[in-house]
């Protein structure tokens, strides 16, 4: 028999996976990220632990979605004209997304951020052409909070907009219109649970609203919270308590108030978890070792919470969470023995994973 015929017959049985067509530059590449089944954790729990690979957005994080939508919102409302300036207060990832979107659309970008954020984020923002102001980290009710400084900066400029990611519900809309529908399609509508942490509230609220509208009580939604945030106490007491205790190594998540993005949907949340930093740091290293996935602390916290949710719902469920960004933006901390020891976290990493602590 002709060997070419044998080859062609075998090849014809291979399923051809459609590939994306040509996209409209950076902006056209935002969204439609893969949903990854975490094999080891799924086997351990008896449920499918599914993680939305938001680090595969073109700007490297879930915040690319919010960045695009808040700029589009400003354009639709006539708040900015060509050549204008976008100003935002951010812990980093929204700023990075905005810097990319601004370059693609021809706007200037100004970012105010807490000076507690990683140097990698600050450096990247400046490389992307943004004007960056790291300022002391103070509470939201302090007039020197980075968000208030960003607002004042925008008010001093002509043809400028403060995009106000925390209370601009275009952030939430990004996930009602894109992330939520993607999750439903990727799971064939069989998602049983969703859990993630929140900072602005946009991702959690938008996905919650979409999933609950589609499935009602047939899908459960939980909040994952780091130490130092008040949201776990708020959700777990049905809005009676705002208890804050401790602090966390995570960046960009946790909150001291209910933002306008979160407010419309907070009552739809079925429960919450508070995740210790020790569990978060251990999961960072587990995901690297077991799955080959290199993610930051907020992503790892989300995965820990997905495992906890699987215990709540029982075996045989599909639990979805968010891998917010990669570890590249935090590697000088998360993989530094000196830094880990300063946070008393080095011993939380199992002995067989200590080999990944490669920085002094």
pLDDT in tens, 177-217: 999 999 999 999 999 999 999 999 999 999 999 999 999 99
pLDDT on residue 118: 84
DSSP type of residue 32: -
Residues 227-251: b if buried by 16+ CB within 10 A, e if exposed: bbbbbbbbbbeeeeeeebeeebbbb
Whether the per-residue pLDDT at 130 is higher than 90: the answer is yes
| Helix or strand (DSSP H, E) at 248 | none
Ordered structural domains, the chain, with CATH? 31-56+178-356 (3.40.50.1100), 82-158 (3.40.50.1100)
Report how far residue 346's alpha carbon sits from residue 356's, in angstroms, rounded to the nearest whole number: 11
Q: Where does the pLDDT of residue 14 fall: very low under 50, low under 70, confident under 90, or very high at 90 and above?
A: low
pLDDT on residue 306: 98
pLDDT on residue 13: 52
- On whether the CB atoms of residues 93 and 252 are closer than 8 A, the answer is yes
Report how far residue 19's alpha carbon sits from residue 32's, in angstroms, rounded to the nearest whole number: 12
Residue by residue, DSSP assigns 77-110 as TT---TT-EEEEE-SSHHHHHHHHHHHHHT-EEE
Encoded tokens for 162: 């403060």
pLDDT on residue 117: 85
Q: Where does the pLDDT of residue 4 fall: very low under 50, low under 70, confident under 90, or very high at 90 and above?
A: very low
Whether the per-residue pLDDT at 293 is higher than 50: the answer is yes
What residues contact 315, with CB distance under 8 A and at least 6 apart? 45, 46, 47
| C-alpha separations of 71 from 164, 196, 312 in Å | 10, 24, 39
Beta bridge partners of 133: 112
pLDDT on residue 301: 98
Report how far residue 176's alpha carbon sits from residue 203's, in angstroms, rounded to the nearest whole number: 9
pLDDT tens digit sequence for 229-247? 999 999 999 898 888 878 9
pLDDT on residue 8: 43
- On whether the CB atoms of residues 162 and 80 are closer than 8 A, the answer is no
Q: Give the closest residue to 128 by CA, choosing from 152, 104, 149.
A: 104
Whether the per-residue pLDDT at 28 is higher than 50: the answer is yes
The pLDDT mean for the chain works out to 93
Beta bridge partners of 274: 225
* 208 three-state secondary structure: helix
Q: Where does the pLDDT of residue 92 fall: very low under 50, low under 70, confident under 90, or very high at 90 and above?
A: confident
Q: Classify the C-alpha dihedral 4-7-12-15 as positive or negative.
A: negative
The active-site residue, picked from 15, 39, 52, 63, is 63
Per-residue pLDDT, averaged over 98-117, amounts to 95
Q: Classify the C-alpha dihedral 78-83-88-90 as positive or negative.
A: positive
Per-residue pLDDT, averaged over 167-173, amounts to 98
Report how far residue 331's alpha carbon sits from residue 312's, in angstroms, rounded to the nearest whole number: 33
Least confident of 165-174, 248-257, 261-270, 336-345: 248-257
Query: Which pTM does this prediction carry?
Result: 0.92
Report how far residue 217's alpha carbon sits from residue 71's, in angstroms, rounded to the nearest whole number: 34
Least confident of 3-12, 250-259, 293-302: 3-12
Per-residue pLDDT, averaged over 121-137, amounts to 94
pLDDT on residue 243: 85
Residue by residue, DSSP assigns 94-154 as HHHHHHHHHHHHT-EEEEEEETTS-HHHHHHHHHTT-EEEEE----TTSTTSHHHHHHHHH
Termini Cα distance of the chain: 62
State the chain's maximal CA–CA distance in angstroms: 81
Whether the per-residue pLDDT at 10 is higher than 80: the answer is no
Q: Where does the pLDDT of residue 348 fall: very low under 50, low under 70, confident under 90, or very high at 90 and above?
A: very high
Whether residue 63 lies in the annotated active site: yes
Report how far residue 39's alpha carbon sits from residue 206's, in angstroms, rounded to the nearest whole number: 27
Q: How many CB atoms lie within 10 A of CB 167?
A: 15
pLDDT on residue 258: 95
| C-alpha separations of 27 from 110, 201, 268 in Å | 19, 22, 31
What residues contact 189, with CB distance under 8 A and at least 6 apart? 214, 215
Phi/psi of residue 146, each to 5°? -60, -30
């Amino acid at each position: 028999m002709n060997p070419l015929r044998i080859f062609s017959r075998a090849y014809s049985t291979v399923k051809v996976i459609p590939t994306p067509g040509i996209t409209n530059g950076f902006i056209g590449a935002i969204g439609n990220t893969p949903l990854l089944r975490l094999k080891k954790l799924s086997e351990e729990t008896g449920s499918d632990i599914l993680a939305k690979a938001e680090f595969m957005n073109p700007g490297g994080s879930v915040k690319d979605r919010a960045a695009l939508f808040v700029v589009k919102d400003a354009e639709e409302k006539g708040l900015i004209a060509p050549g204008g300036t976008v100003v935002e207060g951010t812990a980093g990832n929204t700023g990075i997304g905005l810097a990319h979107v601004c370059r693609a659309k021809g706007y200037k970008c100004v970012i105010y951020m807490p000076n507690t954020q990683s140097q990698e984020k600050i450096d990247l923002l400046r490389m992307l052409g943004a004007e960056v102001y790291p300022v002391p980290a103070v509470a939201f009710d302090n007039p020197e909070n980075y968000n208030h400084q960003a607002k004042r900066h925008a008010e001093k400029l002509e043809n400028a907009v403060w995009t106000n990611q925390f209370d601009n519900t275009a952030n939430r809309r990004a996930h009602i219109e894109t992330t939520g529908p993607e999750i439903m399609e990727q799971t064939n509508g069989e998602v049983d649970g969703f859990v993630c942490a929140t900072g602005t509230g946009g991702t959690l609220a938008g996905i919650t609203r979409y999933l609950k509208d589609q499935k009602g009580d047939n899908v459960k939604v939980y909040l994952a919270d780091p130490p130092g945030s008040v949201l776990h106490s708020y959700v777990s007491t049905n809005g009676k308590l705002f208890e804050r205790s401790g602090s966390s190594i995570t960046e960009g998540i946790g909150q001291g108030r209910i933002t306008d993005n979160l407010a419309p949907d907070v009552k739809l949340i079925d429960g919450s978890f508070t995740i210790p930093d020790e569990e978060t740091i251990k999961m960072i290293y587990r995901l690297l070792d077991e799955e080959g996935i290199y993610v930051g602390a907020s992503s790892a916290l989300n995965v820990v919470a997905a495992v906890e949710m699987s215990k709540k719902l029982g075996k045989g469920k599909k639990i979805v969470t968010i891998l917010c960004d990669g570890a590249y933006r935090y590697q000088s901390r998360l993989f530094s023995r000196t830094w880990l020891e300063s946070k008393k976290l080095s011993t939380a990493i199992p002995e067989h994973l200590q080999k990944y602590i490669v920085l002094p």
